[in-house]
């Protein structure tokens, strides 16, 4: 159920963030790009070559906001209106400049080819089993969207159930959730278009391979949960937004509904809502035994929840408020009759599993089934009568098994240092599936047999490179206040430690999200180029539990930036790289991270990749789900919180005349998580402030959103542009088979 600025997934829920439109479009001066403006200064060494740019003129308006007595100009407020002709003309002008610059880079075509080669491997999603039928996704390598399959039995012939690639010619319709009914005869599934968080849910008959008439709209931050009779399911939605404001209007008043098959959405039964609590959201889950409807209540991205339930055997079906007060994290894991298993950080900052007897729900009667340890208890699943506990040990996975009484059953052996996901299933299953991955190995799917206590490979990708060519180290650097900060460092074996390797430092640092080892085909290409990948485990994340998270929240957010800056300095001092060859990258909350690092220490980096970033910290909460991030960031509406937000807000801390490093800002026109106005305003301000010659470019994708569900073609094109930008600005020599510069 996790969610955040970077983590509100299509089928997940947040546990997880005065308009002046300006004048007519004619006031925007769109400069033609002369060939001379795109010419490489070949008289300089390649590492110093830049491309001179004539930026589009961005109109400034006289708009000033009064924040508790502090007057703050907002000259680019008009860019917050994505539908105005003036904004659209600005987008066209910026893309003309950016793509004109990128398309002339000598390595871009080679990168497109190599990325396509590395991306072209078969990959599978984790199977879901229902009464002998298995449902799973598969991508043959370069399909824009993965295809949903089903089979009778594990050895059965896979059959296509739904191919999203046929739903849009450009591949921009994505499958966001798949929930089979208990008997496996029907599947509820969600679709998102052009990267938006909004979903439509449909129902498909498995045997017939056709949809029923049911269509549910305006669903967001919700999955579906079937009733045992297969006659309908629970889901949550918002009211339909005003026309034209679908991608910017604030989302309030989540409502929990029951949809009965064969009836229109207008007749769905409202199960629960709180008109007195506009920020509350609801995630519903029917227990495996069909007895209870669990309602997890969230109100922001804070790790604080409430837990309600309905006894479905009770004709009155009253909502029972089991846990109230939003005082800690509570995640329902499973049940044995009226005994509920709940993962919580109450009195356990690194989490424990508690058992609650509904006959005696008072807290003093709770029993600890799995106690808190030094390692963070990241996830617990209840499958086949046992508990699978996934721990984080210095940001990589360990898995142990327990009885439902808490007796240890041993450890699940993992092939290497890496990350585990999955281990799901139902209380009567005899098997579970999990995925293992790390920085150089794509996800391998394993099947674990509960009867034999053995794992076997279920699906393993064959990749067009040798994972053994690369190695991962974990090192620690010292932050400004003495805190030890972990770093994963990935490189090709035998790479010289001469302080000259181009290095890409990635970070996030927020919303209790842990940066564990993860595979990306794009990163393999970076490593093949002789680059180093460094991934920092910053405060604000969940690597060491609640205290580590809270040390990077609100007024302590500067700790996150200090950790990241310390990592950048360490990589140079330890002989991995030098300033001119160090790039930083982050997206969403990580976009805020790298933009803050840019404004605070511009001299420390050679290049910056800022993707879908939260960059205006005074107004982020005014749009879509941004209000839900106030628990993480604070709000400029509060005088005390305004002070620290204003102190680090990237948009408000650019200094005119400063020599900023080469910067590529990446966003998308349908991003309704972090609205693109953040990137628009920051790009305009940074281009105006730039006192050096390094390029400041913004790449604005069309028919794309925050990232989830982006078609493979778009992913490859975006990565090729990012790496071409880095190769040019960091002075990375192209491979021998690339086009000559």
Domain ranges of the chain: 26-117+465-730, 373-463
Confidence of residue 382 (pLDDT cuts 50, 70, 90): very high
Separation CA 680–CA 95 (nearest Å): 12
State residue 134's pLDDT score.
98
- How far apart, in Å, are the Cα atoms of 670 and each of 66, 193, 245? 30, 9, 12
Instruction: Give the CATH fold of the 26-117+465-730 domain.
Output: Rossmann fold (3.40.50)
In this prediction, residues 287-309 reach a mean pLDDT of: 95
On whether the pTM is more than 0.95, the answer is: no
DSSP H or E run through 284: strand 281-286
Say whether 95 sits in a helix, a strand or coil.
helix
Confidence of residue 418 (pLDDT cuts 50, 70, 90): very high
Higher pLDDT, 91 or 37: 91
Give me the DSSP letters along 479-531: -TTS-EEEEEEEEETT---SS---EEEE----TT--------HHHHHHHHTT-
Report the half-sphere exposure of 153 (CA within 13 A, side-chain side). 3
- How far apart, in Å, are the Cα atoms of 68 and each of 71, 90, 543, 616, 654? 8, 32, 36, 17, 22
What are 167-200's pLDDT values in tens digits?
999 988 999 999 999 999 999 999 999 888 999 9
Confidence of residue 737 (pLDDT cuts 50, 70, 90): low
Catalytic residue set:
588, 706
Separation CA 17–CA 626 (nearest Å): 3
State residue 738's pLDDT score.
55
* In the predicted structure, residue 709 carries a pLDDT above the cut 60: yes
Mean pLDDT score of the chain = 91
State residue 669's pLDDT score.
83
In this prediction, residues 548-560 reach a mean pLDDT of: 98
Instruction: With beta carbons less than 8 A apart as the criterion, state whether 572 and 582 touch.
Output: yes
In this prediction, residues 709-731 reach a mean pLDDT of: 95
* In the predicted structure, residue 74 carries a pLDDT above the cut 70: yes
Tell me the torsion sign for CA atoms 334, 339, 345, 349: negative
CA angle 579, 583, 584 (to 5 degrees): 120
What are 655-677's pLDDT values in tens digits?
999 999 999 999 998 788 899 99
* In the predicted structure, residue 220 carries a pLDDT above the cut 60: yes
* Pair of tokens at residue 697: 């470019």
- How far apart, in Å, are the Cα atoms of 312 and each of 64, 154, 376, 505? 55, 33, 34, 51
* CB-based contacts of 225, cutoff 8 Å, min separation 6: 179, 233, 234, 235, 284, 285, 286, 293
State residue 31's pLDDT score.
24
Question: How much of the chain, in percent, has pLDDT values that exceed 90?
Answer: 86
């Amino acid at each position: 159920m996790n969610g955040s600025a970077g983590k509100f997934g299509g089928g997940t829920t947040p546990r997880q963030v005065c308009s002046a439109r300006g004048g007519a479009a004619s006031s925007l001066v769109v400069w033609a790009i002369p060939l001379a403006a795109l010419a490489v200064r070949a008289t300089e060494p390649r590492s110093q070559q830049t491309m001179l740019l004539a930026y589009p003129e961005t109109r400034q308006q006289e708009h000033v906001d009064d924040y508790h007595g502090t007057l703050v100009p907002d000259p680019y407020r008009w860019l917050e209106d994505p539908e105005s002709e003036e904004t659209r003309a600005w987008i066209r002008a910026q893309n003309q400049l950016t793509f004109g610059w990128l398309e002339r880079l000598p390595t871009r075509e080679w990168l497109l080819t190599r990325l396509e080669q590395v991306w072209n491997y078969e990959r599978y999603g984790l199977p879901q089993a229902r009464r002998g039928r298995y449902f799973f996704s598969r991508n043959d390598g370069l399909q824009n969207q993965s295809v949903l399959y089903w089979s009778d039995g594990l050895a059965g012939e896979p059959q296509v159930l739904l191919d999203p690639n046929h739903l849009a010619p450009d591949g921009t319709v994505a499958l966001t959730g798949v929930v089979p009914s208990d008997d496996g005869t029907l599947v509820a599934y969600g679709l998102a278009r052009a990267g938006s968080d909004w979903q439509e849910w449909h129902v498909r008959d498995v045997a017939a391979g056709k949809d029923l008439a049911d269509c549910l709209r305006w669903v967001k931050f919700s999955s579906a949960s079937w009733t045992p009779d297969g006659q309908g399911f629970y889901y949550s939605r918002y009211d339909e937004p005003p026309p034209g404001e679908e991608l910017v209007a604030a989302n309030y008043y989540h409502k929990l509904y029951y949809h009965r098959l064969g009836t229109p959405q207008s007749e769905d039964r409202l199960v629960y809502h709180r008109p007195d609590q506009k920020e509350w959201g609801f995630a519903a889950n029917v227990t495996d035994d069909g007895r209870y409807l669990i309602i997890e209540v969230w109100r922001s991205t804070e790790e604080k929840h409430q837990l309600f339930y309905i006894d479905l055997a009770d004709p009155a079906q009253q909502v029972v408020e089991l846990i109230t007060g939003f005082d800690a994290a509570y995640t329902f894991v499973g049940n044995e009759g009226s005994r509920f298993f709940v993962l919580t950080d109450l009195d356990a900052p690194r989490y424990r599993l508690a058992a609650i007897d509904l006959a005696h729900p008072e807290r003093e009667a709770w029993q600890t089934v799995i106690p808190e340890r030094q390692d963070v208890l990241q996830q617990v699943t209840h499958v086949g009568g046992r508990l699978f506990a996934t721990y984080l040990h210095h940001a990589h996975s360990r898995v142990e098994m327990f009885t439902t009484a808490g007796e240890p059953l041993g450890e699940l052996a993992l092939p290497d240092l890496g990350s585990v996901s999955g281990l799901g299933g139902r209380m009567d299953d005899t098997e579970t599936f999990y995925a293992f991955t790390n920085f150089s190995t794509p996800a391998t799917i394993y099947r674990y047999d509960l009867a034999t206590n053995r794992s076997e490979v279920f699906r393993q990708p064959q990749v067009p490179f040798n994972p053994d060519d690369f190695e991962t180290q974990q090192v620690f650097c010292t932050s400004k206040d003495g805190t030890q900060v972990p770093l994963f460092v990935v490189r090709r074996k035998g790479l010289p430690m001469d302080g000259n390797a181009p290095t890409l430092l990635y970070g996030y640092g927020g919303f209790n999200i842990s940066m564990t080892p993860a595979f990306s085909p794009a990163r393999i290409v970076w490593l093949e180029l002789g680059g180093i990948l460094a991934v920092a485990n910053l405060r604000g994340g969940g690597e060491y539990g609640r205290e580590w998270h809270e040390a990077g929240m609100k007024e302590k957010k500067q700790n996150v930036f200090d950790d990241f800056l310390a990592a950048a300095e360490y990589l140079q001092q330890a002989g991995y790289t030098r300033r001119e060859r160090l790039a930083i990258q982050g997206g969403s909350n990580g976009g805020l991270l790298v933009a803050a690092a840019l404004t605070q220490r511009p001299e420390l980096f050679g290049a910056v990749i800022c993707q879908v970033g939260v960059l205006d910290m005074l107004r982020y909460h005014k749009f879509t789900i941004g209000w839900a991030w106030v628990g993480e960031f604070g709000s400029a509406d509060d005088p005390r919180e305004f002070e620290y937000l204003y102190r680090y807000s990237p948009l408000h801390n650019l200094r005119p005349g400063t020599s900023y490093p080469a910067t590529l800002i990446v966003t998308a026109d349908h991003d309704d998580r972090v609205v693109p106005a953040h990137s628009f305003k920051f790009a305009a301000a940074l281009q105006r402030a730039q006192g050096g010659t390094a390029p400041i470019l913004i790449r604005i994708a069309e028919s794309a959103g925050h990232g989830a569900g982006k078609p493979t073609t778009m992913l490859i094109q975006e990565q090729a542009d990012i790496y071409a930008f880095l190769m040019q600005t960091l002075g990375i020599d192209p491979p021998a088979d690339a086009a000559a510069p």
